[in-house]
A and B are shown apart, each in its own frame.
Chain A
Amino acid sequence: MTNLPDEGDTAREPITAQPVDVRLPTPPIGPSTTAWQLVQARPWVAVGALMFATVLGLTRGLTAPPQVMLAILGWGLCVWLAVRPMERRPAPERLSWVGSIPWLVVILAIAALELYSFFHGSTYEHPTLSVLTDPAFDTFGVRVAFVLSWLAVGWHLVRR
């Protein structure tokens, strides 16, 4: 068997190179798009987020690099949202007051505990949440994971 045409082959039309668009259509980014769906649809976003998290992971707290990077991110977010308002999922018209009580209790509880510890000096005996998590945030992996999760939550918030 060869690739040569047979004698009786009637298909004599020259093969023309037709440009075929093999690109997959880019999925639209809607208000319900999760952070995971976003990075699947726009891989460059995942690369950017990973680079941002890696660089922040390599920095140390209370130094200029993380302060500058996070300030730029914050101001950039403000400008981006002001210039290009995003499509958002509709917010609930009203919330059940009774149903909201558990949230009120939980939020007041953590606020009260934080303030109690803070006004007692944020010491070993009365640690705030950040004092407790400081040793973990000295680890590169924890910092990177935290930044990636934080960015994902931010994406969720700007769509709500």
Chain B
Amino acid sequence: MSTHNLTVAAFAVILLAFVVVDAMGRRPHSRIPTLSDVLAFAMRTWQGRVGVLFFWWWFGWHFIAR
């Protein structure tokens, strides 16, 4: 398997892991927080809020304006 295919496979596994972990967090009585809860926890302070919102904006800018 080439390095390219390995990298693509690794990205696919990680993105799938995002979905799986979030789904696990949505089960009743789960100790795993959802992604939304993790982000809300990070955004409790104004610094965290600015950081998360900036990352969101940068993410959109990076893919659309490149």
Binding site for B on A (CB under 8 A): 56, 59, 61-62, 66-67, 70, 73-74, 77, 81, 89, 91-92, 94-96, 98-100, 102-103, 105-106, 109-110, 113, 117, 124-127, 129-130, 132-134, 137, 143, 146-147, 150, 153-154, 156-158, 160
Contact = CB atoms under 8 A, between A and B. Distances in A.
B4 A125 contact: yes
Interface string B14-32: 1101100100110000111
Contacts of A158: 53
A91 B44 CA distance: 7
Interface of B: 2-4, 7-8, 10-11, 14-15, 17-18, 21, 24-25, 30-33, 35-41, 43-44, 52-53, 56-57, 59-66
21 contacts: A61-B66, A66-B65, A70-B57, A74-B57, A91-B41, A91-B43, A95-B33, A95-B37, A100-B38, A102-B21, A103-B32, A103-B38, A105-B17, A110-B11, A125-B3, A146-B60, A154-B56, A154-B60, A157-B52, A160-B36, A160-B39
